[in-house]
Amino acid sequence: MPENRAPAFTTRDFLIATFFHIRIVLIAAMVPLLLALAAAFTAKTEYTAKSLLMVIVSREVTNANVTDSGPAVLSIEGLKQVESEVQILESADVLRATIEQIGIDRLFPSGLLSYVTSFLKSDADRMDQSIEKFRKVLRASVVSGSNVVEVSVTLPNRALAVEATDALVKNYLNYRRKVFENPTARILQIEVERFRMDLAGTDREIEALKSKVGIIDFSQDAILAANQVDTLLQRRRQVAERQVAVTAQLAEAEKQMKGLPEQVFDFTQKTDALGNDEDANVLTRLLVERDRIRAQYAPGSQLLRDIDRQIATVRNKMENRSERPYSTDRDVRNPAISYVQNMILSLRVEQDALGRQFTELEQQQKVAEQRLSALRGAETQLIELNRRRDTLSDGYREYLRRAVAANIEETAAKTRESNVRVVQEAGASVTSRNLAIPFLAAGLFGGLLFGAAAGAIASALRTTFIMPSEAERALQLPVLAEFGSMDAGSHALDTALGGLATLLLDTRVDDRPLQLIHFLAPQRGEETPAFCRRLAEEFATQRGLRTLIVDLCSPVPAPLLASGFEMKGGLAVTRTPLPQLWAAVDVEKSPLLNVRLPLVDGVRMRDELKQAFECVIVCSPVQGTFVVTDRLNQLADGNILMIGAESTRKPSALHMRDSVLENGGTLLGFVFFGRRYYLPEWIYRRT
């Protein structure tokens, strides 16, 4: 079986798809081309008159030194000044004066519908529209990196373009002279003097208020006063808390002092021992001595009797000692009395000191609050005075700056016109432009784009196949054969049948040759049965194989030789006029094609057919719910799809492929029939 690999999309495929949708492509391409032709025929030659103005940056711009000879390079403020000149040039007043000087009808002639629209619009509306139209034909811009302004007007008439440009520059210079007239230096100087006097009076009031209240720096003084009041308040609270604690401790100490006794028990002792009492030691020595004598002398000796008497005497003395006990009791002065007395004395001293400290803190807090109140009283006045001084100071600086500028402007009023100089007249530089050729080029390019887009959209929306490569990419299956028509004498059909027969005979599935081949058609028709009959004839006549054809697409698959038939493999078969070729009859009643036939019996009957015939060709449609087709997908050694050019839809082809795979059948590929060649022969040879 060939490898399931879809070929790449080639230039020939693109050309074939284009020629297949040639009508749609041509219609889509003609739309922008016709529009471009109409625009090219109606396009007029436009003349652009260009004038150049040089703006001399004066010393009056901000951050410029009056005594300097001028900036060496163009500063940001200078660029702003040049841009402002462009804005003045494009202002509505300048444009209105230019239009009125030349005339609306000369600049913008009336159209075909002007007489109708004139009743709906007033003169003011017409002037406003003319100003907007003039803005569209006007172009004013600053030449990059310089202080030169380029002014150009584009109109269909060369002389009118030059006249409009010159009139625009002239009206701009007149309007600029009117705008920059400013004889206000004397008024500004009076205001400067008034602001200076008010500012000096405000400063004196501020100094007097600070001297009266004792303010050095109001912010720092206010913070210090507030912190002092807060600190004193915290210390008063701490002293008050300590007074309460000391009073409580003193009361408790005096209460406990009253309940303390003068003397307290120290210790008591009872004993029967006397000083220098050696009875126990004497008894021990006598016992040791008796043991020694007993070991050296005979019992009953005089020494033993003496020792025994001494031991008895000592023991008798020790036994009578309990009759004379001794006891000792001791009382001392209560030591807690001295501790509590010292504590009471210390607490009374501390209580007196806290009272004096609290009184002193109250006095300090009153002084601090008076200072804070004085600062609060002066704050409002000081803020108001500072606000007044800031306002007066800003006004003074502004009016002083404007007064100086006004003086300079008045001084240079006579020479102000020289700040903008015309360095090029409009008539010296006139260019023409005709957009006919660009319109045609754009139309041609747009036609190509529209045609390509229309062809791509049509190809994407097309649901049928026109080339085998499209079916290969969609089904992921190889094409086994392709041909055009089913004409009997078609060389292409004979070549396709011969190649397909050879390919099927050489193909092995699980190391077994193909004997039962199933052709699936998307619907009933004449192409698939005719192709299967021709393929069966190829196997029978050219290969000499016993061939059986089972046609489920048409009622009579092939001309029959006789009416008799015999049963082989669950099918009623009969001979045809061609030798080695049999055909199935009464397929509706055949046991093999019975929908109730178990799969095991179907496999057995298939094996019988393989034993009786060397090649079995079955063609069946998948249209509707034909259950027998699903059974044949499982029993066949290989399944081949029949794809018709321009007739088989992609969903139908995918359904056929999926039905075979879902039933566990083996897919070999597909046969593409009914193909047409849309390109000229010379294109096929070159691609």
Indicate the pairing of strand 638-644 with strand 615-621: unpaired
Neighbours of 247 (CB within 10 A): 13
Residue 644: its H or E element: strand 638-644
Residue carrying the six token digits 């080029």: 441
The CA R_g of the chain, rounded to the nearest whole Å, is 64
Average pLDDT of span 66-81 = 57
Residue 468: its H or E element: helix 468-475
Cβ atoms of residues 48 and 158 within 8 Å: no
Tokens coding 308: 């025994």
The residue among 518 and 61 whose pLDDT is bigger is 518
Looking at residue 62, its pLDDT comes to 43
Q: How many helices (H) and strands (E) does the chain have?
A: 21, 18
Average pLDDT of span 254-261 = 81
Q: Which residues pair with 549 in a beta bridge?
A: 583, 617
Predicted confidence band of residue 566 (pLDDT cuts 50, 70, 90): confident
Buried b (16+ CB within 10 A) or exposed e, 367-401: ebeebbebbeebeeebeebeebbeebeebbeebbe
Phi, psi values for residue 580, rounded to 5°: 65, 15
Average pLDDT of span 629-649 = 85
Instruction: Quote the Cα angle for 42-45-48, to 5°.
Output: 140
The residue among 675 and 418 whose pLDDT is bigger is 675
Instruction: Quote the Cα angle for 667-673-678, to 5°.
Output: 130
Q: Which residues pair with 139 in a beta bridge?
A: 152
Q: In terms of C-beta density within 10 A (0-12 exposed, 13-18 middle, 19 or more buried), how is residue 294 classed?
A: middle
Q: Report whether pLDDT(483) > 50.
A: yes
Q: Which residues pair with 671 in a beta bridge?
A: 481, 642
State how far the Cα of 361 lies from the Cα of 368, in Å rounded to an integer.
10
Q: Report whether pLDDT(75) > 70.
A: no
Q: Report whether pLDDT(1) > 60.
A: no
Phi, psi values for residue 613, rounded to 5°: -130, 145
Tokens coding 408: 């300079």
- Interval 284-294: pLDDT, tens: 888 888 888 88
Cβ atoms of residues 250 and 348 within 8 Å: yes
Closest C-alpha to 155, from 425, 426, 423: 426
Tokens coding 303: 């020494």
Looking at residue 120, its pLDDT comes to 53
Looking at residue 639, its pLDDT comes to 92
Residue 268: its H or E element: strand 263-271
Q: Report whether pLDDT(533) > 60.
A: yes
Looking at residue 68, its pLDDT comes to 45
Going from the C-alpha of 518 to that of each of 174, 409, 636, 666, the distances in angstroms are 97, 104, 6, 10
Looking at residue 51, its pLDDT comes to 85
State how far the Cα of 7 lies from the Cα of 172, in Å rounded to an integer.
71
Q: Which residues pair with 667 in a beta bridge?
A: 639
Under DSSP, is residue 51 helix (H, G, I), strand (E, B) or coil? strand
Q: Report whether pLDDT(181) > 70.
A: no
Looking at residue 615, its pLDDT comes to 92
Lowest mean pLDDT among 55-64, 264-273, 461-470: 55-64
Q: Report whether pLDDT(3) > 60.
A: no
Q: Report whether pLDDT(188) > 80.
A: no
The residue among 376 and 444 whose pLDDT is bigger is 444
Tokens coding 8: 């790449």
**What share of the chain has pLDDT > 70, as a percent?**
82
Q: In terms of C-beta density within 10 A (0-12 exposed, 13-18 middle, 19 or more buried), how is residue 635 classed?
A: buried
User: Side chain identity at 445, as an amino acid letter?
Assistant: F
Across the chain, what does the average pLDDT equal?
A: 78
Buried b (16+ CB within 10 A) or exposed e, 193-208: eebeebbeebeeebee
Q: Report whether pLDDT(64) > 50.
A: no
End-to-end CA separation in angstroms for the chain: 28
Q: Which residues pair with 104 in a beta bridge?
A: none
Neighbours of 639 (CB within 10 A): 27
Torsion angle, alpha carbons of 519, 522, 527, 530, to 10 = 30
Q: Report whether pLDDT(278) > 80.
A: no
Looking at residue 70, its pLDDT comes to 46
Average pLDDT of span 589-611 = 80
Q: Which residues pair with 519 in a beta bridge?
A: 619, 640
Polymer length of the chain: 687
Tokens coding 505: 């005979």
Under DSSP, is residue 269 helix (H, G, I), strand (E, B) or coil? strand
- Interval 311-358: pLDDT, tens: 888 888 777 765 555 666 677 777 777 888 888 888 888 888 888 888
Looking at residue 177, its pLDDT comes to 76
State how far the Cα of 642 lies from the Cα of 551, in Å rounded to an integer.
14
- Interval 20-49: pLDDT, tens: 777 888 888 888 888 888 877 776 777 888
- DSSP line for 123-143: HHHHHHHHHHHHHHHEEEEEP
Neighbours of 533 (CB within 10 A): 23
- Interval 143-157: pLDDT, tens: 877 788 888 888 888
- Non-local (6+) Cβ contacts of 58 within 8 A are 64, 81, 412, 419
Predicted confidence band of residue 417 (pLDDT cuts 50, 70, 90): low
State how far the Cα of 656 lies from the Cα of 101, in Å rounded to an integer.
82
Predicted confidence band of residue 680 (pLDDT cuts 50, 70, 90): low
Buried b (16+ CB within 10 A) or exposed e, 641-673: bbbbbeebebebbeebbebbeeeebbbbbbbbb
The residue among 268 and 251 whose pLDDT is bigger is 251
Looking at residue 71, its pLDDT comes to 47
Looking at residue 594, its pLDDT comes to 72
Instruction: Quote the Cα angle for 154-158-163, to 5°.
Output: 80
Looking at residue 326, its pLDDT comes to 60
Q: Which residues pair with 584 in a beta bridge?
A: 573
Cα 615 from chain centre:
64
